[in-house]
Each structure stands twice: as C-alpha cells, then as structure tokens.
Amino acid sequence: MACTEISDSDREELAAFIERYWGAPFVMSRGQVYYPHKQPGFIERRNGQIVGLLTYHSHHDAVEILTLNSTVGGHGIGSKLVLHAIGKTRELRRKRVWLTTTNDNLHAIGFYQRLGFRMTELNLGAVDEARKVKESIPLLGERGIPIRDEIVMSLEIEPFLDDGD
Ligand SMILES: CC(C)(COP(=O)(O)OP(=O)(O)OC[C@H]1O[C@@H](n2cnc3c(N)ncnc32)[C@H](O)[C@@H]1OP(=O)(O)O)[C@@H](O)C(=O)NCCC(=O)NCCS
C-alpha cells in the first residue's frame, strides 16, 4: 500500500502507536517537547495496520523528523518514509531536513548516513537533561550503551534547477 499523509482520523491510533514505541505520548529534541501524533507526517499500512510512521515538525527554515518507526525492518519502509519527508521538505521550500537521535542508536545513525545525512551537531548530556522531564528514557540503549548524548543529523536539500533560487 502507498504511503499516505497523516489525517485527523489517524490521530487517536497514532497516539497509541507513539506511546508504545516511544514510552510516552511525547518525545524530546533539543530540549523541546513534541507530541508527534499532533504533527504532520506519513503512514505506511499493511492490512490496515500501521507498519511505518514518520512524523515531522516544520520549522521556518527546515523540516525536523520527530519520529520514525518501522515495525517490519529491512523491507525499505523506513527509507521510503524518509524519502517522503525529503519530498515534503522540497515542497515546503525548506533547505534542510534534520533529526536528533541518541548516541546509542547505532543502527539509525548508519541508516540515515546511508541516505545521505551527515552528523552536524553533538549535544553532550542532552539526553541526561531530557530524562529529567521524560523519566521513561532508559539509562541503557542498544548493546548496553549508556544513553547520554543527542546527535543531530542533517541533509541539505538541493534546489531544483527550475526553483529559481
Ligand atoms: C531505523 C528504522 C526506521 C529503519 O526502518 P526499516 O524499515 O528497517 O528501514 P529500511 O528497510 O528502509 O532499511 C533498513 C535496512 O534494510 C535494508 N533494506 C532495505 N530494503 C531491503 C530489502 N528489500 N531487502 C533487504 N534489505 C533491505 C537497507 O539497506 C537498510 O540497511 P541499513 O539499516 O543497514 O542501512 C527502524 O529500524 C526502526 O524503526 N528503528 C527503531 C526506531 C528508531 O531508531 N528510529 C530512528 C530514530 S528517529
């Protein structure tokens, strides 16, 4: 099934999905709290069930991916959702798409780099600070790595030749 944009009728289902995969109804990025189910994004479904979800927040100059989840790994769902976010960034005429991830998330760090993202910022201790607000953030992550820092990953958007800029 094709990837669809989030609509208001999805939001209740998204709230439950976010709570399940992110341990709370909200996520934190650069010290800000976001409720992803209230934000725009893209959904991939199989037999009616959500198998992929990307939510984003549109800043004045860039699009920030807030959450990305794929429940069926290795079938291209995550990549497809990110490509949709890149397309949306162009459509909104923003120049950059970026996201934050945690230092333990080696899989995601590799995944985004393969899609062309660069590591553009390291916020030391940002997750330790976020945990004071969101207590459900575990102390240990992938392969027992202490979760402490936030890595910003960014992709600059090349303007189309006919964009006039
Ligand atoms: C990161 C995440 C979204 C990737 O989703 P995914 O659906 O597995 O992504 P893809 O299938 O597009 O790519 C995953 C891998 O499968 C490979 N792949 C893609 N399509 C494939 C196919 N048809 N056959 C075999 N392998 C394939 C890709 O090369 C990719 O390799 P890599 O991870 O080593 O880069 C997913 O692992 C996830 O939900 N993680 C937990 C939440 C998270 O960390 N989110 C990101 C931080 S915001």
Please tell me the distance from the alpha carbon of residue 124 to that of residue 5, in angstroms, as a whole number. Answer: 34
Q: Is the pLDDT of residue 114 over 60?
A: yes
> Taking the CA of residue 52 as centre, how many other CA atoms within 13 Å lie in the half-sphere pointing to its CB?
25
**Total tally of structural domains belonging to the chain:** 1
* CB of 55 closer than 6 angstroms to any ligand 1 atom: no
pTM beyond 0.85 = yes
Domain that holds residue 133: 3-156
Residue 38 within any structural domain of the chain: yes
Residue 164 within any structural domain of the chain: no
pLDDT one-digit tens code per residue, 8-53: 999 999 999 999 999 999 999 999 999 999 999 999 999 999 999 9
Report CA(12)–ligand 1 centroid distance (Å).
Answer: 26
Atom from ligand 1 closest to the CA of residue 114 = 35
Q: Is the pLDDT of residue 61 over 70?
A: yes
* CB of 76 closer than 6 angstroms to any ligand 1 atom: yes
Residue 162 within any structural domain of the chain: no
* CB of 100 closer than 6 angstroms to any ligand 1 atom: no
Please tell me the distance from the alpha carbon of residue 113 to that of residue 115, in angstroms, as a whole number. Answer: 5
Per DSSP, which regions of the chain are E strands? 4-5, 27-29, 32-34, 41-46, 49-58, 62-70, 96-102, 118-123, 150-156
Residue 101 within any structural domain of the chain: yes
- Residue 6: Cβ within 10 Å count: 20
Output the average pLDDT for the chain.
Answer: 95
CATH number at residue 60: 3.40.630.30
Q: State the burial class of residue 19 (Cβ atoms within 10 Å of its Cβ: 0-12, 13-18, 19+).
A: middle
* CB of 107 closer than 6 angstroms to any ligand 1 atom: yes
